[in-house]
Structure 1
Amino acid sequence: MKDFVEYAVRALVDLPDEVSVEETVGEHEMAYRVKVHPTDLGKVIGRQGRTIQSLRGLLSGAAARQGKRGALELIEPPEGVPSGNGIAAS
């Protein structure tokens, strides 16, 4: 499942080498933390959050087939870290 999440996110971004996915699998949950380059955050989130919600829906469906709950978290850069466009994240 981690490979699928990583593949899907890499296909969306301009800097695929900057994508990292951390997987935590428990007895009842599969959780994935995705980190991308700050300039690619908008591409992964999508207009009105539709892209990230779609990814979460696919993950939840796949996890449910295994009797687990799926969670996908997009890690944003800390406050004050430049987003790559010259404007600090706020």
Structure 2
Amino acid sequence: MAPSASSTSALVDLVALIARSLVDNPDKVVVREAPGDRFPRIELSVAREDIGKVIGKDGRTAQSIRALLNAAASKAGLRAHLDILD
């Protein structure tokens, strides 16, 4: 079953909303969907000085964002993977 464009765009919007609320430069947040092997890959890019805010101490913030993404994807009947680009 191919993912619908509206459900994957909702996942992109969710990650963008979360990332913009965490960083100092919300205008430099870029979230896009990239094709993955088995399921969509959501790529998150932020300003270099904000990367620590998105990853968090010991990666806890990044894991929390991934947990929210997975919960939203599951609700839509999808799976998704978050890549934080540096």
Which has a greater percent of helix?
2
Q: TM-score if structure 2 supplies the norm length?
A: 0.79
Tell which has more relative contact order, 1 or 2 (C-alpha 8 A, sep 6+).
Answer: 2
Which has a greater percent of strand?
1
Q: Name the structure 1 match of 2:84.
A: 74
Q: Which runs of 5+ in 2 are unaligned?
A: 1-10
Structure 1 position 7, deviation (Å) = 0.8
Q: Please tell me whether residue 10 in structure 1 is matched to residue 13 in structure 2.
A: no
Q: Which runs of 5+ in 1 are unaligned?
A: 77-90
Aligned-pair RMSD on alpha carbons?
1.5
Q: Percent of pairs identical after alignment?
A: 43
State which structure, 1 or 2, has the greater radius of gyration over its C-alpha atoms.
Answer: 1
Q: TM-score if structure 1 supplies the norm length?
A: 0.75
**SS, match of residue 42 in structure 1:** helix
